[in-house]
Amino acid sequence: MTTPTIRPSSALAGVRYEIRGRLARRAHELERLGHDIVSLNIGNPGAFGFRTPETMRLAMIENLRAAEGYVHQQGIFPAREAVVMQQQERGLRDVTVEDVFIGNGVSELIDLVLRALLDDGDEVLVPSPDYPLWTAATNLNRGRAVHYACRAAHDWMPDPDEVERLVTKRTRAIVIINPNNPTGAVYSRAVLERLVAIAERHRLVVLADEIYDQMTYDGVAAVPLATLVHGTLCCTLSGLSKIYRACGYRVGWAVFSGEREGAQDYLRGLELLSSLRLCSNVPGQWAVQTALGGYQSIRDLTREGGRLHASRAAIVAAVARSRYLELVRPLGAMYAFIGVRPGALPGFDDQAFALDLLEHKHVLVAPGVSFNFPHNTHFRVTFLPEPEVLADVFGRIEAQLELYAAAPAGREAGAPLKVVSQS
């Protein structure tokens, strides 16, 4: 008897998330075989010893009794009020709790805001490279992701003229990730103002992914996009995961500002979708007020002498010493998007390199193409580990690249290596 085949949805054909894909599965297999894997593919602070502030944990514990039942579909009032106060401190005066939606992390909210917006074939402008959930969620929700290029030669910032040329009658929204994942770019006010002008001119919804909003370096500050948007709808997305090292709490928020009069049907649709999932995780919501109103310990980590600052410096120094690698210094977030110098390793392939590095050096990185980047020349690492761990990791990376450089003529630099032991 033939076993029937269960086919997956055709919608998955346009979805990739290699950050937790084939390479990550192979890493788990190697760990089960007893190998120690240094996983630099995911920005998960808890895995590297970062703790959520104790005041946030206490706030959850003290309110557990109030977290046992369903709450309002948009979130508990104290959490939404805290988000409003944060926005007001940043210069956004006309936001109320009715404009705030709490979700199970920004990931859920990305899906909801796009699901409420898109019809078949509607287009969303998404940066390339991007955080791949934006492209995946656009495709899953019947839309089409149209990528606008961000190039290393321009410090990973987009060219607004190029962006505007991509706008069509089907374009509904533009995604702006700032500070950027995966590149670490922090967009200048001038670039943001020009992108906002495009959105307002074409009545596009501005989707501002600002989950790393306070994670910046070298005196650079991220401009809150909502403070620049007045003539169209703006949705700012952020949460507890990164700034407050609370990924597992699964708490994010979406704040709507700008021109809302013509968006009431859309916002009611978003409330309907929020109601269908009843409510988001309640215990974690009780940590929001304490997080946003308390001491901002992220500044201790990103200033000179702080751990994130030191680990970032270790990566910058390691790449500078490399014979093969190059890097635009990241000014925000917790990642470095590292490239191979042009001509240094002809035939280099980021996916094959990532697999070789995992198999032979036991280091897990994310290939650049995982981020909807059209070139196979880059890979992303997080700089969450301690500087000495990163120094060791980049020694392994350089050794792997040396093997490519010494490979027999005609062999592609990224082709799988047949190595007896390189551990």
Residues 77 and 108 in one domain: yes
Question: Which pLDDT value is given to residue 418?
Answer: 42
- Is residue 413 in some structural domain? no
Domain boundary among 241, 273, 293: 293
pLDDT at res. 422 = 35
CA distances from 232 to 204, 211, 264 (A): 7, 21, 13
**Looking at the domain assignment, is residue 203 inside a domain?**
yes
Q: What is the model's pLDDT at position 6?
A: 85
Q: Are residues 132 and 278 in the same domain?
A: yes
Give the pLDDT of residue 408.
63
The answer as to whether 96 is a domain residue is yes
Per the CB < 8 A criterion, the answer to whether 336 and 327 are in contact is yes
The low-confidence residues of the chain, meaning pLDDT below 50, are 410-411, 413-414, 417-423
Cα distances from 18 to residues 47, 352, 370, in angstroms, run: 19, 13, 5
- The answer to whether residue 378 is domain-embedded is yes
> What CATH number is given to the structural domain containing 156?
3.40.640.10
List the domain range (segments joined by +) for residue 313. Answer: 12-41+304-405
The answer on 283 and 309 residing in a single domain is no
Number of structural domains in the chain: 2
pLDDT of residue 5: 86
370 and 257 in a common domain: no
Is residue 46 included in any domain, yes or no? no
* Residue 269 sits in the same domain as residue 350: no
Domain limit, last residue, from 241, 263, 293:
293
Statement to judge: residues 147 and 202 lie in one domain: yes
The answer to whether position 47 is within a domain reads: no
* Residue 198 resides in a domain: yes
Q: Are residues 189 and 318 in the same domain?
A: no
The rounded Cα 211 to chain-centroid distance in angstroms is 8
Domain identity same for 196 and 176 = yes
Return the HEC string of the chain: CCCCCCCCCHHHHHCCCHHHCHHHHHHHHHHHCCCCCEECCCCCHHHHCCCCCHHHHHHHHHCCHHHCCCCCCCCCHHHHHHHHHHHHHCCCCCCCHHHEEEECHHHHHHHHHHHCCCCCCCEEEEEECCCHHHHHHHHHCCCEEEEEEECHHHCCCECHHHHHHCCCCCEEEEEEECCCCCCCCCCCHHHHHHHHHHHHHHCCEEEEECCCCCCECCCCCCCCHHHCCCCCEEEEEEECCCCCCCHHHCCEEEEEEECCHHHHHHHHHHHHHHHHCCCCCHHHHCCHHHHHHCCCCHHHHHCCCCHHHHHHHHHHHHHHHCCCEECCCCCECCEEEEEECCCCCCCCCHHHHHHHHHHHHCEECEEHHHHCCCCCCEEEEECCCCHHHHHHHHHHHHHHHHHHHCCCCCCCCCCCCCCCCCC
Which pLDDT score, from 0 to 100, does residue 417 have?
Answer: 44
Entry pTM: 0.92
**151, 255: one domain:** yes
Give domain status of residue 417, yes or no. Answer: no
Do 155 and 264 reside in the same domain of the chain? Answer: yes
> Both 315 and 369 in a single domain?
yes
Same domain flag for 94 and 221: yes
